[in-house]
Structure 1
Amino acid sequence: MTLRSRLHTLYEGAGAGPDRFRYALLAFDLATVCYLVSTSFLPRGPYNIAIDLCIGFVFLADLLARLLIARRPLRELFSFWGIADLLVILSLLFPIWGEGLAFLRVLRLYRVLHSPRTISQLGRDIPGFRRNEATLRAGANLLIFLFATTALVYQTQSNSNPDIANYIDALYFTVTTLTTTGFGDVTLTGHAGRLLTVAIMIVGVSLFLRLVQVALRPSKAHFPCPKCGLRRHDHDAVHCKACGTLINIPDDGLD
């Protein structure tokens, strides 16, 4: 078996080994986010540089592996997620601006959690995931946006804004802005800070409303109609509502 086929099995294959590998990647990404948050309370030292280098090399190996198994490597590299990964790697291996673009590490969670293979795996391993998939994905999108924006606020303001001394200060500002509460005791400085505040309010409120919408709306089963292709049906549907074709939606019987 070639290296490319082995990597393709790990990233895209089915079975216990690939499942554990993908969960390990997800756990590693979560660990790097926790590390980013925790180190905001501590002064940076040589050990931070060493850890950043280790994380950077792991991210680089992951990127090279995905490029090796991709059908169109250049398209993968210059996609939004490929460029985001590349910027994170460069900022970790060649830190020019403090922690660099460390906040982009959080965006990796979005790519992993929205991978079709990961979604399928979570659906198999977690009871009720399929039934509540839309709500869980909307909630994950909101949380990822919250942590990514908080990291961006901390990264851009911590060195110039006395109100943003650590990650908790940045999180407090992001939450109060996202909910439009806006206590006003913490504000961002400069034109860039004001523009970032506007972006947080617009995008954050949209994601929050999306979460409320999918949480209150009855969940749908994802099953393509063999005739017209409609994918979303009521869980107890017998016929496709679009064309009337008889459908047989798999159901594990869990409420």
Structure 2
Amino acid sequence: FCSIIAFAVETLPNLSKSTRKFLYFFEIFSVLIFTGEYLLRIYAAKKPMRFIFSFFGCIDLIAILPFYLSFGLDLRSIRVFRAFRLFRSLKLVRYNMALRRFYLAITIAKEEIVLFLIATFMLLYLASVGIYFFENEAQPEKFASIFDSLWWAVATMTTVGYGDIYPITVGGKIFTFFILLVGLGIVTVPAGLVASALSKARGMQESNASNPEE
């Protein structure tokens, strides 16, 4: 948790040299702690390779790998590698019952979630194609291609509606109306899946707690 806070503090402007130096040594200390924990878990695991490629094993590795890669290469200046430190927050899942329940719920509903994501991406593509054919001639600068139309599709289907791109043709407006109706369903489906899975996960945890010998 402290490592995550330190990551946020590093983004503050006009930090003193002493503060940056402290944060750097704190980062080294944190990485050493995480590395020791990672190696001990591999050593204690009955099946080390299985742990290494497990969800928590991958999270533990990603949390420390960018630091070691920075030796010889100044990867600290590359934001994507610095952002990998945020994966350390996922380590909290291991120690919090509620977070573990959420992880278990995602595992239970993973097939339904994958199917939902596939269907969502297909609908996004179809929405992009549809609005492109309706609006391309009327607004070639905004709907220049299907890829440009994809931004409109995402903003519309998620019901965000930024308003920077919108249809002006009659056909485009009617098409948008139906896409908005579909978008309302898309927003609610994941909530239902996760809520149902959380209920099952809670039941499984309570069952395991009441029958530990099993």
Q: Same fold (TM over 0.5)?
A: no
Give the TM-score band, short-chain normalised: 0.3 to 0.5
* TM-score (norm: length of structure 1): 0.36
**Which structure: greater helix fraction?**
2
* The structure with more radius of gyration: 2
